[in-house]
Amino acid sequence: MIEARRLHILRAVADHRTVTAAAAALYLTPSAVSQQLAALEQETGHRLVERGAKGVRLTPAGEILLSHTNAVLAQLERAEAELAAYGSGAAGTVTVASFATGIALVVAPALGRLAESAPGIRIRVQDAEGDASLPMVLDRRVDVAVAVEYRGAPPADDPRLTHVPLYAEPFDAVVPVAHRLADADEVPLAELAKDPWIGPYPGNPCHDVVVLACESAGFQPRMEHSSDDFRAVVSLAAADVGVALVPRSALHGTDLTGVVVRPVDGVAPTRRVFAAVRRGAEEHPLIRPVLDALDEAARA
């Protein structure tokens, strides 16, 4: 009989690529993870992982088991949801991880809605970028992630996750008031090819949006200054040290003294925001109201 907790460990190892990283995500010791993998191999009668200098990879047998693991764990999430619904599930705690702007734009308004519609649900919010929040959901450290599509992100049809689209927003060009394009109605990105740039660090999903937009315009942006805080990005642009692309919602409430904000000429780069939960958990009586409140906040 295969134990479900060992399937969780197998998936964590497949996701994180090393025993040490999987152990940290699961709050276990590396030796405990190795022991559970060995026990799983004994249960199945197959070698499931291979260790190498660059980490751990699944064997063909391990890949077969992983495909069933995603289905089994999703079904267990559905079973928990139905049992919780049977027992009413009217009270409990749901942990939501979101990037800062997402917290301001949809998570915080959703909390107000939930306080009225589902007062028994307590929400705990954690600030985390989209590339960090999705692994947190898969590792069961949080229940819901509000994340941004990015290069390398799990796709919408990933068997481990259920995606709920929330909103999409354009990036605007932010240039110093003395910039040569400050008086333009719209800013062609190609005209900024030789400018120094200010933007998020690599790994931040917004960094991918900026780089891909510039690549589509025919150039690689020369990132001279980096910050994941868009208020800092705007302040640096105001100091006349570079130009930037900033999500429109991140400009709300930001001091724009010293800069000019203009739409991008042509098809504007866009970040698409979604909520994600472990597949099968979307109808849990504690999680469903949270997803509905996030969707309502996004529509508003």
Domain limits, the chain: 4-83, 90-166+272-299, 168-271
Low-confidence ranges of the chain (pLDDT < 70): 85-90
The pLDDT of residue 86 is 59
Quote the CA–CA distance of 291 and 299 in Å, as a whole number.
12
Quote the CA–CA distance of 294 and 111 in Å, as a whole number.
9
Picking from 152, 153, 191, 154, the residue whose alpha carbon sits closest to that of residue 175 is: 191
The structure's pTM equals: 0.71
Picking from 110, 235, 102, the residue whose alpha carbon sits closest to that of residue 174 is: 235
The pLDDT of residue 85 is 62
Query: Could you check whether 4-83 and 90-166+272-299 share the same CATH topology?
Result: no
Quote the CA–CA distance of 213 and 203 in Å, as a whole number.
16
Burial of 119 (0-12, 13-18, 19+ CB in 10 A): exposed
pLDDT tens per residue across span 286-300:
999 999 999 999 998
Quote the CA–CA distance of 58 and 47 in Å, as a whole number.
9
CATH number of 168-271: 3.40.190.10
pLDDT tens per residue across span 143-195:
999 999 877 788 888 999 999 999 999 999 999 999 999 999 999 999 999 99
Picking from 153, 186, 155, 191, the residue whose alpha carbon sits closest to that of residue 171 is: 186
The single-letter DSSP state of residue 106 is I
The pLDDT of residue 44 is 86
∠121-126-130 over CA atoms, to 5°? 115
Class of domain 90-166+272-299: alpha beta
Class of domain 4-83: mainly alpha
The pLDDT of residue 246 is 96
Which tokens go with 68?
């069933």
∠267-264-153 over CA atoms, to 5°? 60
